[in-house]
Amino acid sequence: MSYQGHHDIVNTKLSDKQLRVNLKNVMDTLKTNRKNLIASRYTDWEELREKGKALKQKTLSRLDVLLERFEQNASKNGFIIHWASDSKEANEIIYSLMKEKGVTKILKGKSMASEETHLNAFLKQKGLDPIETDLGELIIQLIDEPPVHIVAPAIHKNRYQIGEIFAQKLGANLESEPEKLNEIARVHLRKEFQEFKMGLSGVNFAIADEGAIWLIENEGNGRMSTTASDIHIAICGIEKIVESFEDASILDALLVPSATGAAITCYNNIITSPRKEGELDGPKEVHIILLDNNRSTILKDSHFYKSLSCIRCGTCLNHCPVYDKIGGHAYLSTYPGPIGEVISPQLFGMKNYGHMVNLCSLCGRCSEVCPVKIPLAELIRDLRSEKVGQGRKNLKNNDGSLKDRQEQFGMTKFANLASNGSSWRRMLSLAAFFAPLAKPFASFIPGLKNWVAYRAFPELSGNLHKKVSKMQGVIYE
């Protein structure tokens, strides 16, 4: 898509008033819940963040060893391990298993890894039926949209819009109360759970020492998808490996408050093996797909590898002043928001996803709230350097061809002004003088018209240059 095409999508989302209201309501609630929980329940949240950061960095430094240990122990437990180098290979593994078992539909718990591989579209092309069972995922599947958020995929729709979707797509009565909407979804999915053979899930933590996987959720659909089926397939990004249950517990204590502002999820599903002899439930087979998809390339980078510490809590999206104005779809990536801006160009190529790094004000909120202290704002800034060919140029599909000539010209002129005291003061004086004249015509002036489309015209004091000169005089004394 062209550079202008990306801008058009952003402008479309900014003009959607209902979208902005929906996002603001949810973001404000999530941020408030998180803040209140941390203040009331945690005696030293910052120390816990430090532990999480150190744990993830230690794990990444030994990822090859821990992956082999996980494969060995999981295989002993009866799991069948598959390695997928990319999205195509992961999808082909699932397709082959469905063909082998004579399965035509698969019920899915929430899995961002399957969104990353575009599994649903792949299976539909093969004539197979992937069915989302997470409430948010079900809503967006009914209207053929991708998730708008990595934790809450349908937060861009309010309860009235969801009621209309259920009425149109499921033939249900038009409802708007959450309890009745949940009931509609349960009735719709119950018949699917009664007759399915294969379920799919993501993985929150894969424990190397035990060869087990840990899934967290709030609806119970994940437990149904992984327990009531004959065959369970779990897609696990290789960065989800941790060494022990103790490590996973630390990360879980960071993830849940950051994601939803709750102390714990309703369901914690720890799966240690397929169904054993004498057990009444559980799948007969469990297949775990360890997905690379350029993660090992990220891991090799001495700086950007930090982004693999992400535990997919989504709190950086919740606090982002850009995301809550435009929503996840404007990023045109499976992973939106600050973490998406960091990992998408690395996973999928700067040439295709370089536009994302512009969707950031560099306010630093994301770095401040990340539970494992990923320096997201710093990484976004450095990826901007990579994008224009000023970095180390070792990112996938990055040849420095994404330079914006107009932007380069403007920044060069700004640098010249900002590094010359007399020129800078002269520029401030002129800006203050012409501001009242420019204000009525701002919507027609190149550069300014983009600013005033969604912001107030900047107010410049007539004494601005004098104030700056006085400040500089104080500094120099």
**Three-class secondary structure of residue 212 per DSSP:** strand
Helix H or strand E encompassing 389? none
Question: How far apart, in whole angstroms, are the C-alpha atoms of residue 388 and residue 132?
Answer: 39
Residues of the chain within CATH 1.10.1060 domain(s) are 1-41+296-403
Helix H or strand E encompassing 275? none
Question: How far apart, in whole angstroms, are the C-alpha atoms of residue 154 and residue 138?
Answer: 9
**Three-class secondary structure of residue 432 per DSSP:** helix
Question: With contact defined as beta carbons under 8 Å apart, do 176 and 42 qualify?
Answer: no
Q: What is the pLDDT of residue 451?
A: 77
Structure tokens that stand for 4 in this block: 């202008």
Q: What is the pLDDT of residue 474?
A: 46
Rg (CA), the chain: 25
Q: What is the pLDDT of residue 463?
A: 57
Q: What is the pLDDT of residue 458?
A: 75
Class of domain 1-41+296-403: mainly alpha
Question: With contact defined as beta carbons under 8 Å apart, do 115 and 334 qualify?
Answer: yes
Mean pLDDT per block of 10 residues along the chain (477 residues) reads 76 93 95 97 96 98 98 98 98 98 96 97 97 97 97 96 97 96 96 93 98 96 94 98 98 97 94 93 96 96 95 97 96 97 94 92 96 97 88 62 68 85 85 79 79 76 52 45
Q: Which residue is associated with the tokens 């990992």?
A: 343
CATH for 42-293?
Answer: 3.40.50.10420
Question: With contact defined as beta carbons under 8 Å apart, do 118 and 87 qualify?
Answer: yes
Residues of the chain within CATH 3.40.50.10420 domain(s) are 42-293
Query: Dihedral through CA 268, CA 307, CA 317, CA 135, nearest 10?
Result: -40
DSSP string, 47-109: HHHHHHHHHHHHHHHTHHHHHHHHHHHHHHTT-EEEEESSHHHHHHHHHHHHHHHT--EEEE-
